[in-house]
Amino acid sequence: MGFRAHPAAHRDGSSFTRSWARTSLVSAVRAAAVLVLLVLLAASGWWIGAGMTSGVLWEQLGAGWHLAAAAWRRAAARAATVDGETAKRLVQSVLPAAKAGEDGVGDGERPLLAWVRAATGYDFTSPRSFLEAEVAGRRSPVRLNAGAFGQAFRAAPGRESRREGESGSGTAGGGAGGDGRPEAGPAALARSTEAPSAEVLSRQEREPVPARLAPVLAMDWGNEPRVLIVHSHTSESYVTVPPDPRADARNHVYNDSDTGITRVGRALAEKLRNVYGIGVIHSTRVHNWPHHWEAYVNSRETVKEYLEAYPSIQIVLDVHRQGIENAVWATAVSGVQAVSVEVIYTTSQEFPYASHPNWRWNAAFAEVLARAMEELHPGLLHRVTAVRDRRYNQDLHPHMVLLEVGNYLDREEHALAAAELLADAVALALYEVDRGTVEALAAPRAVTPPQPPRPAPSSPPPRR
C-alpha cells in the first residue's frame, strides 16, 4: 500500500511537527519498555537455569536498566534536534506538491522510499547501498539539524532550489498565458530571460571564446528568439552528491520540471543569451508524466506551439541524456572535465507510421553542428547517429536535432560544463544556418550524366 499525504501537510508543518515529535517519543518509550522486558526475561531465565543468587539477578536487572536509559537518552536527543521548520522542509523536499482540491498524491511510495534513503542512506532498490552506508568513508551522514539539513539538501537539487519565476509544471523560458500556451511577442521573451548563476558567470569569464567565433559575437541577432530548447524526457537526471532524494535507481525525477536535464538546458540557454546575445526559449514543460511513452506526443505539441508563436526560431534542440548501463561519457574537453555529446537525426525511412520527407535538411544541420563541435572543442562530439525507424518530431523543423548530453551515470557538474561548451558550437551552427550553409549541403547536387564512350578511331584500310 502506498503512503498518502493530505495536502494540509504541505501547507502547514506545525501539526505535522507536533505529531512527528509525539510519535518519536512514543516509539522511544515503546522501545525502552520492550528492551527492559527482554532484559528481565533473559535475566530471569539465566538466574533460574544457573541457580544464581538474587544479588546477581539484581546486577543484571541494573545493567538492563542502564541500557534502556541510554537508549531513551539517545532517542530524546535525536528528537530534540528536529525543529518545526526542519521537519516541514523534510516533508516538502520528498513529497510532491498537492494541488488545491486534491485529496492527496497518487504515487506516494516513491517519496516514502526517498525519505528513507535521505535519512539513512539505504536504497531498497540497490542492495549495494546497505553496504556502502555502513562502510566508513563511503557516505557522509545527514544530520537532521537546521544548518546541516539546509546545506545537504540544497546541494541535492530539490523543490526548494527552483528559481523564482520558473514554472513548476508548465513552460519556463517562454512565458505562458492562462491556458498554458506560449505568449508571443518580444515582451514575453524579455520576461523569459533567466539571471545566470554565479558559477556560470565565473566559468564564462575564465574560459575565453575561440577566435573562430569572432564573427558570431559581432552579429546582431535582434530581439526575436532564434533557438528553442525542449526536453521530451523531462525526468532525466544525473548523479549528484549527495544523491537527489527524489531520483529513482536510474536517475529519473518524474513529474517535476526541476531535474538534471532541465538544468543542463538552462546552462546552454544562459550562455547563448549572455555571451552571444542570441534569443533563446527554454521550455521545462513536463512531457513524460504520467505516461513515459507519451513523451514525444506531448513535446510535439510544445514545439508546434512555439514555432507558431515565434516564426523567427531557426534551431530546435531536444536535449536528453543517455540511459546506457555500465557506461560513463566523462571526458576532458578544452581543459574542462565534461561529458561527450551525441547528435541524433532521424530519417523515418524504416518507420511506416509517419513520414519525414525533408530529413536531409536535418542531416545537413547535424553535420554542421558536429563540425562546429569538433572545430571548437575537439572531443566534445561523441558521435553522429542516424535513426531510420523513428521521427522524434524532427519533421516539424529542418534544423531540429536530438542531443544526448552524457549518460545517466555521469555527474551533473560534468554535464553542465559540457552544456556551456556546446553553446559555442550551437552559436557557430546558427551563424552557418544564417549564411545558408545547411541549405547548400542539403540541396540535391547536380550530377553530370556519364558520357557515352568515344568510338575507337578507325584504322586505315590495309594496303594491298
Q: What is the DSSP string of 52-65?
A: --HHHHHHHHHHHH
CA-to-CA distance for 180 and 8, rounded, in angstroms? 26
Q: Classify residue 275 by burial, with Cβ atoms within 10 Å: 0-12, 13-18, 19+.
A: buried
Residue 288 has a pLDDT of 96
pLDDT more than 90, % of the chain: 48
Q: Tens digit of pLDDT for each residue in 407-441?
A: 999 999 999 999 999 999 999 999 999 999 999 99
Lowest mean pLDDT among 97-111, 148-162, 293-307: 148-162
**Which has more confidence, 369 or 205?**
369
In which band, very low, low, confident or very high, does the pLDDT at 443 lie, cut at 50, 70 and 90? confident
Residue 450 has a pLDDT of 67
CB 394 within 8 A of CB 388: no
In Å, how far are 346, 352, 357, 386, 439 from 349, measured between CA atoms? 9, 8, 9, 11, 21
CA-to-CA distance for 182 and 176, rounded, in angstroms? 4
Arithmetic mean of pLDDT, 180-187: 46
Q: What is the DSSP string of 210-262?
A: PGGGHHHHH----SSEEEEEE-SSTTB--B-SSPPTT--TT-B-TT-S-SHHH
pLDDT beyond 70 at 150: no
Please report how the helices 260-276 and 198-206 are oriented relative to each other, as an axis angle in degrees rounded to 10.
50
Residue 394 has a pLDDT of 97
Q: Tens digit of pLDDT for each residue in 215-262?
A: 999 999 999 999 999 999 999 999 999 999 999 999 999 999 999 999
CB 231 within 8 A of CB 318: yes
In which band, very low, low, confident or very high, does the pLDDT at 352 lie, cut at 50, 70 and 90? confident
Return all residues near 384 (Cβ < 8 A) that are at least 6 apart: 342, 343, 344, 345, 366, 367, 370
In which band, very low, low, confident or very high, does the pLDDT at 354 lie, cut at 50, 70 and 90? confident
pLDDT beyond 90 at 154: no
**Which has more confidence, 197 or 376?**
376
The mean predicted confidence, pLDDT, of the chain is 74
In which band, very low, low, confident or very high, does the pLDDT at 49 lie, cut at 50, 70 and 90? low
In which band, very low, low, confident or very high, does the pLDDT at 54 lie, cut at 50, 70 and 90? low
- Bridge partners of 84? none
Phi/psi at 315 (nearest 5 deg)? -135, 135
Q: What is the pTM of this model?
A: 0.58
Q: Beta 336-339 vs 330-333: how paired, if at all?
A: antiparallel
In which band, very low, low, confident or very high, does the pLDDT at 174 lie, cut at 50, 70 and 90? very low
Residue 114 has a pLDDT of 55
Domains of the chain: 8-155 (no CATH), 167-442 (3.40.630.40)
Cell of 259: 531535474
How open is the CA angle 355-232-323, to the nearest 5 degrees? 105
Residue 254 has a pLDDT of 96
CB 265 within 8 A of CB 319: yes
The number of helix segments (H) and strand segments (E) in the chain equals 15, 8
pLDDT beyond 80 at 188: no
**Which has more confidence, 368 or 173?**
368
pLDDT beyond 50 at 149: no
Residue 351 has a pLDDT of 87
CB 125 within 8 A of CB 249: yes
pLDDT beyond 60 at 196: no
Please report how the helices 146-155 and 84-94 are oriented relative to each other, as an axis angle in degrees rounded to 10.
20
- Cα radius of gyration (the chain): 31
pLDDT beyond 90 at 134: no
3 state DSSP class of 395 = helix
In which band, very low, low, confident or very high, does the pLDDT at 38 lie, cut at 50, 70 and 90? confident
